Structure 1
Amino acid sequence: MSSRPVVVIVGAGFSGLLTALHLASDPGGPQVRLVERAGVFGRGTAYSTANPDHLLNVRVANMSAFPDLPDHFTQWLAGRSGWSAHGGFVTRGIYGDYLQDLLRDALERLGADRLLLEQDEAVDITPAGDGRWRVRLALGRELAADAVVLASGVLRPAPPAGADPGLFASPRYFADPWSRADRLAAETGDVLLLGTAMTMVDAALTLARPGRRIWAISRRGLLPRAHAPVAARPPSPAPGGSPLAVLRQVRENADRFGWHEAVDDLRPHVRSLWGRWSPAERAAFLRHARPWWDVHRHRLAPSVARQITAMARARDLTVRAGEIQSLVPVGDRIEVVWRPRGGLATRRLSVSAVVNCTGLLGDLTQTDDALLRRLLSQGLIRGDALRLGLEVDAASQPVGRDGMTRVGFHAVGPLTRGGVWENTAVPDIRVQAADVAGQISRALTRAAAA
């Protein structure tokens, strides 16, 4: 029986795995129990795809799992055969292999006394009253922990507005493009994709077939931009001020250097800017600038952008700006009524399937995740004011209904966007995972010395 303190991490996607590896790599650190309800540890949703057209949207040079070892992923690739780069980008499946290699190596080095994999679903997390925590699993076991990390990953998109209740029971509605990926790939006939961002691109590449028409509709009809080579140069001065002031600075830099460089210069300062902005300034940014920021910040690999452009030119993919008015299943079709942006008259489509590609859910009041709903009902967590996810403090500790945080309770990954804004890509999450692991290790060391 281990005498080490125990940390339970709920969720074994990228953010949970990285936090576990940092904690377990400390020789005097805790025992880590990694709980995952899916059958695979380490890959998560993003890196489980085997589709060769699904590429990383970040160059390999910036995809190390560890912020202090920037060449770690490229060195791993150098020792591996059977992969190819597409202009500096590799498939997400290859990156999933990398993450599982990290996990496999950690298990071999550390053994079961330090890192344990629990294939089960966490259904409840409660304070134990003695400064510790209890994590109850679906199969009936209960894990005692000195600290708990919530790493639930990306939540399924919210149901579309205007949908007939019968839509959700229809096999022709895909609430999540990844939950029935094989069934989606086998779908025949024309398809409507709700949303036009990165998830839509993945779904369109999965569905592409000769003779098939794919429609993609979002409020603004904006597509992600493509990566491009950037020239090496000193970064611009750190921006400051209100969202409007920052926008002016970005535009000035874009005029001087190009928009790719201007956005890249801003990225290291996003978290500090977000932290300084008032709630009203954050809301103004989300209302006016967020769609444009997203398509310039989250870019496509050039080869993927070329595929999407070719599909659009061939009219295999039609992207439109507008709002869905209704989605009604009728026989083996789904009848769609939508209104183009800026127009009054509605238009109609008849498709064989509808796929919800609107992206990760932020409004926790709409989540169907049983654990999050349980934590909300207990008051251990609450949604942030802008409905981006959990409300967390500067230490990534969830804020409860009473406005307080709990010692030994942390969260990592996209759920914490409300506190930091940019926290969906590897370069951002790896920093947070290392930071949270360090906080937990230091707190456990202090407790042991007390």
Structure 2
Amino acid sequence: MTNLAIIGGGAAGAAVFGALLARDVDDTVHWVAGDAAPAGHGVAYSTQEEHHLLNVRASGMGLYLDADEDFAAFSAQQRAGAKPTDFLPRRLFGHYVESQLRKRMHAAGQRQRDFRVHARQACSIRPTSQGYTITLDDGTALTAQRVVLALGALDARPLRTVTATALDSGVYVMDPWTLTSQPLSPRRLTVIGTGLTAVDTLISASKRWPDAELIAVSRHGLLPFTHPELPITPFPHQAEINASLLDCNGPAQVLATIRGVFAAHQDIDWRSVIDGLRPINAKLWQGFDARQRRQFLRHVRWIWESSRHRLAPESAETLQQLRDEGRLHIHSARVLAVDGKGPLSITLRSRATQRITRMESDVVVQATGLDTAVAFAKSPLLAKLLKSGLVVADPLQLGLLAQADGRLIGENGDVHHSLYAIGSLLRGNLWECTAMPEIREAADKLATLLATAHPEPSPLINA
């Protein structure tokens, strides 16, 4: 009998865990889910705010490819009038994850499928002749022949332009999800960032402090675009477009080709074309060399993120109402400095005019989105893995160096045949790997691989 271990208590870890439980093989599955309750929610689905909405329709959400019950059906039971085309609260998906996990664990228990859930944090992973020894924060040592890192979002790092004084002030908020639970009463609140996390932050702040002035600032000042109210018809020539894009040499040609499609088909909804790229997004990214990837990150990423990861219509309407009322102002500028003990002084350089201005804000919230720079992460586990050479940071700081199937690569260039990752740690290889449609497909493939693979000793054991 062998042991499999999944480290990480978010939705990605839950997806791999449940997919493994559904497979009848002679092994024990250990899920090191952390001490945050309930397991499976992670940061994304732990929010209890009703206005924090999914940016995927209910019909597109799920935890497993072979779900016991799809999310749309679950939602209809939980909320009167909920439809498959709705963008529902993220907390509701968290409840769905719990429901799916309970069903999988119950069914596994009925079949005497062996598994353990550990409500602890993993502190270290050490290669041995038997596979890996995983040490938990209570001193427990687990032995596993195959290990999956499903660590999810890393803790945000302060921007380099924020002084230590501002960080110590108590009014520079690093974790946007804790904002409305803090004893603050701002007259002006500034959010650094204009992506999906920033949108949730702004909407929450507007409801908690209805008299506060809200400001959002980012380099391009671009909010996410908006999903249509109802699903749109797929672009009829998507297959030909995708084939053409896969023949492009770098992001500049990709962008020019997409713009050419929009120019030639002005009667279509551009969102149908962008959505139709989903099956080839990873292949496009993998076709870029290191220089082209840097080019994408520098020049294209901002517009891609806004176009690809769009807002639910209800969220977009709320933002527009705030802007129409004069409560919300969006600035396209670079943050040059944040300093002070409160109110904080923010120095900005306008993108349009290059003019430098300063303003004061009672509270500043950093909501700059996903951080994948593992080399700078606060995680003790990642720090030890990197120091040991068992894993290596992606050269563009997009997670860990890995192959497309999730197998991690060590500092000597060897591919581990029994150490895997899923989710945001694979962004350097897959780019699009953090949304649930991609995660549940990856989890299913990984579970199949783990259930059939024969583990090999780590190349570092005798190094």
Q: What does 1:53-64 align with in structure 2 at a 5 Å threshold?
A: 53-64=51-62
CA contact (8 A) 2:234 2:276 kept: no
Residue of structure 2 in register with 1:231 after alignment: 233
Q: Quick check: 1:24 aligned with 2:21?
A: yes
Equivalent pairs counted in the alignment come to: 441
Corresponding residue SS for 2:369: coil
CA contact (8 A) 2:146 2:419 kept: yes
CA distance in 2, matches of 1:345, 1:14: 44
Q: Quick check: 1:443 aligned with 2:442?
A: no
Residue of structure 1 in register with 2:142 after alignment: 143
Which of 385, 396, 415 is matched with 1:386 structurally?
A: 396
Cα deviations across residues 151-175 of structure 1 (Å, max 9, x unaligned)?
A: 1101122211211112222321211
Residue of structure 1 in register with 2:297 after alignment: 286
Return the TM-score normalized by structure 1. 0.93
Q: Quick check: 1:313 aligned with 2:324?
A: yes
Return the TM-score normalized by structure 2. 0.90
Corresponding residue SS for 2:348: strand
Corresponding residue SS for 1:408: strand
Q: Quick check: 1:246 aligned with 2:254?
A: yes
Deviates more, 1:187-196 or 1:45-54: 187-196
Which of 261, 265, 272 is matched with 1:261 structurally?
A: 272
Residue of structure 2 in register with 1:418 after alignment: 428
CA contact (8 A) 2:120 2:137 kept: yes
CA distance in 2, matches of 1:114, 1:443: 18
CA distance in 1, matches of 2:193, 2:82: 30
Cα deviations across residues 53-79 of structure 1 (Å, max 9, x unaligned)?
A: 111000111112233569822232344
Residue of structure 2 in register with 1:301 after alignment: 312
Corresponding residue SS for 2:261: helix
One-letter code aligned to 1:32: V
Q: Quick check: 1:11 aligned with 2:8?
A: yes
Structure 2 stretches lacking a partner, 5+ long? 458-463
CA contact (8 A) 1:12 1:41 kept: yes
One-letter code aligned to 2:154: L
Cα deviations across residues 117-159 of structure 1 (Å, max 9, x unaligned)?
A: 11111010111123x1111011111111111110110112221
CA distance in 2, matches of 1:83, 1:158: 41
CA distance in 1, matches of 2:192, 2:276: 31
Cα deviations across residues 262-281 of structure 1 (Å, max 9, x unaligned)?
A: 10121211111112222222
Residue of structure 2 in register with 1:125 after alignment: 125
Tell me the percent identity.
29
Cα deviation for residue 182 of structure 1 reads: 4.4
Which of 193, 196, 199 is matched with 2:197 structurally?
A: 199
Residue of structure 2 in register with 1:104 after alignment: 102
Cα deviations across residues 409-434 of structure 1 (Å, max 9, x unaligned)?
A: 00001111001010121111111111
Q: CA RMSD in A?
A: 2.2
CA distance in 2, matches of 1:372, 1:35: 15
CA contact (8 A) 1:227 1:301 kept: yes
CA contact (8 A) 2:423 2:434 kept: yes
Cα deviations across residues 61-117 of structure 1 (Å, max 9, x unaligned)?
A: 111223356982223234434574596111001100000101111222223852321
CA distance in 2, matches of 1:226, 1:382: 37
One-letter code aligned to 1:356: Q
Residue of structure 2 in register with 1:353 after alignment: 363
Deviates more, 1:151-160 or 1:343-352: 343-352
Measured at CA, do residues 308 and 421 of structure 1 come closer, stay the same or move farther in structure 2, by a change above 3 Å?
Answer: same
Q: Quick check: 1:95 aligned with 2:93?
A: yes
CA contact (8 A) 1:83 1:94 kept: no
Q: What does 1:202-221 align with in structure 2 at a 5 Å threshold?
A: 202-208=200-206, 209-221=209-221
CA contact (8 A) 1:185 1:206 kept: no
CA distance in 2, matches of 1:307, 1:271: 33
CA contact (8 A) 1:339 1:345 kept: yes
